[in-house]
Amino acid sequence: MKKKVSVLPYEKAGDSVRRAVESCGGLDAMPSRARVFIKPNIVYWTRAAAFPKWGVITTSRVVEDIVILLKEKGINDIIIGEGSVTMNPKDRESQKHAYETMGYGLLEKRYGVRAVNIFDRPFQKRDLGDGITLRFNSDILESDFAVNLPVLKTHAQTIVSLGIKNLKGVIDIPSRKKCHNADPEKDLHYHVARLADRMPPMLTLIDGIFCNERGPAFDGRIRRSNLLLASGDVLAADMVGARILGYAPSDIPHLRYAAQNRGRCADLSDIEIIGEQPEDVAMSLQYAFPYNQEKTLPLPMEKMGIRGLAYRPYDLSICTYCSGMNGLILSAIALAWKGKAFDNVEVLTGKIMKASPGMKKTILLGKCMYKKNKDNPDIREMIAVKECPPRPESVIAAFHKAGIGIDPEIIRNMESMPVFFMERYKGREEFTEDFFRIE
């Protein structure tokens, strides 16, 4: 029997989500009086400033519409859970602030929903086969049914970030770091492909009211797309979502692996699409920021004339902590450029990169990179940032020592920097905060 995926336009609060879910039979596998876990996508949050949420975070509109639908089905035990990564691993206030700001407190008052930070909850180890063991949040594992609410976006590492990838937010931090490993065979794609394998029955509803090119965060190109994709089969939903984003499912490594693991084809041949056909609503969204031909500098920085610096694109092995700082550091370097060549400096990130012969100074950004290259004979002058995650003051000191005068306030105030990205959307009616409020 073919897997059903509905692809419908978002037109009206309540009605659009209901039609998308009902047309694909997305709640058919949900037991009566089930305990239900809802997993939104809150990839980033800051208490310091407003930032573009569209195409980054699951809209509160979709979350409330799902809760209403569950309540109509007689479901009274509902948990919303997420594990957002913050630059301070001990920070619990940011996610609490996110829940409050997006109206989840009102969901609790109106419908009895509980919103939890999974880092405050227990985890359970699960063997995913082939030597892969990860620790998952107990609440979702012990639920009778899950509702997975990813955002329609491309992703700098996994190409697309949809239903399966969204489940990375229910594993603990050591497990997430394990996914970003240096093994060329069992890499990030290989691990992500298995994240849905031990889940309870699940509805996946991809929130495509907004979509994000070069996501997953606020520095991507966000657009209004007005689509909802729903399915009782997470892989089917993701394959259709990938096609709409402009990619053949077989070109997405983690979807290809997931299909192989399930004995399915990595295409749409076993899927019945209800509503809009992918070719009629397909986009062509890039997933990676452009680099020069030599892969030593982002293309915009090369066009600026920056010389004497090699800053390679980060790879699959870099985890969220270091990758979250990457764009900010590059921006700080660009602003520090005064037209004089830097002193032949190389910046290395992740767990795989090796120092290049002939560079004068090598910045090792993060504990993993230091371990990889601390004995590398090709390094003439090592400037190591050994912490995990790197502390802002250590990053500032490293670049200053290398002769790159980045503005310390840019790095120190990284929580406030996203406000500048809001300027892109100022005055554009389609980008309203109303989608992230519950009245």
pTM above 0.75, yes or no: yes
* Predicted pLDDT at 89: 76
d(CA 47, CA 112): 26
Over residues 140-159, mean pLDDT = 98
Q: What are the DSSP E strand ranges found in 156-241? A: 159-161, 202-215, 221-231
Task: Annotate 363-385 with DSSP letters as a single string.
Answer: EEESHHHHHHHTT-TT-SSEEEE
* Predicted pLDDT at 403: 98
* Predicted pLDDT at 197: 97
Over residues 382-410, mean pLDDT = 96
In which residue are the tokens 């295409």 written? 267
* Predicted pLDDT at 364: 98
Find residue 310's DSSP bridge partners: 346
End-to-end CA distance of the chain: 41
Average pLDDT, the chain: 96
* Predicted pLDDT at 321: 82
* Predicted pLDDT at 417: 80
Residue 90: pLDDT over 90: no
Residue 88: pLDDT over 90: no
pLDDT in tens, 111-128: 999 999 999 999 999 999
d(CA 321, CA 287): 19
Of 103-107, 215-219, 265-269, the poorest mean pLDDT is in 215-219
d(CA 257, CA 194): 8
Is 89 buried (19+), middle (13-18) or exposed (0-12) by CB count in 10 A?
exposed
* Predicted pLDDT at 304: 97
Residue 168: pLDDT over 80: yes
* Predicted pLDDT at 49: 81
d(CA 70, CA 300): 47
* Predicted pLDDT at 48: 84
Query: What's the pLDDT band for 39 if we cut at 50, 70, 90?
Result: very high
Over residues 180-209, mean pLDDT = 97
Find residue 383's DSSP bridge partners: 363
Tokens of 323: 């990758």
435: CB partners within 8 A, 6+ apart: 54, 59, 60, 61, 209, 210
> Burial letters for 292-313: b for 16+ Cβ neighbours within 10 Å, e otherwise?
eeeebbbeebbeeebeebbbbb
Domain ranges of the chain: 3-287, 299-419
Of 79-88, 134-143, 426-435, the poorest mean pLDDT is in 79-88
In which residue are the tokens 């509109």 written? 61
pLDDT in tens, 377-390: 999 999 999 999 89
Residue 256: pLDDT over 90: yes
Residue 156: pLDDT over 80: yes
d(CA 179, CA 187): 7
34: CB partners within 8 A, 6+ apart: 75, 77, 143, 144, 145
Q: What are the DSSP E strand ranges found in 28-130? A: 35-40, 77-82, 114-117, 123-129
Residue 87: pLDDT over 80: no
In which residue are the tokens 């699959």 written? 316
In which residue are the tokens 């100074």 written? 361
* Predicted pLDDT at 324: 83
* Predicted pLDDT at 62: 98
Class of domain 3-287: alpha beta
Helix (H, G, I), strand (E, B) or coil at 324: helix
Q: Pairing state of beta strands 345-348 and 361-365? A: parallel
212, 220 in Cβ contact below 8 A? yes
Residue 399: pLDDT over 90: yes
Over residues 251-272, mean pLDDT = 97
367, 388 in Cβ contact below 8 A? yes
Neighbouring CB atoms inside 10 A of 357's CB total 10
Cα distances from 258 to residues 164, 189, 231, 411, in angstroms, run 9, 9, 16, 38
Q: Alpha helices, DSSP H only, in 142-187?
A: 163-166, 173-179
- Percentages helix, strand, coil for the chain (3-state, rounded to 5) are 35, 25, 45
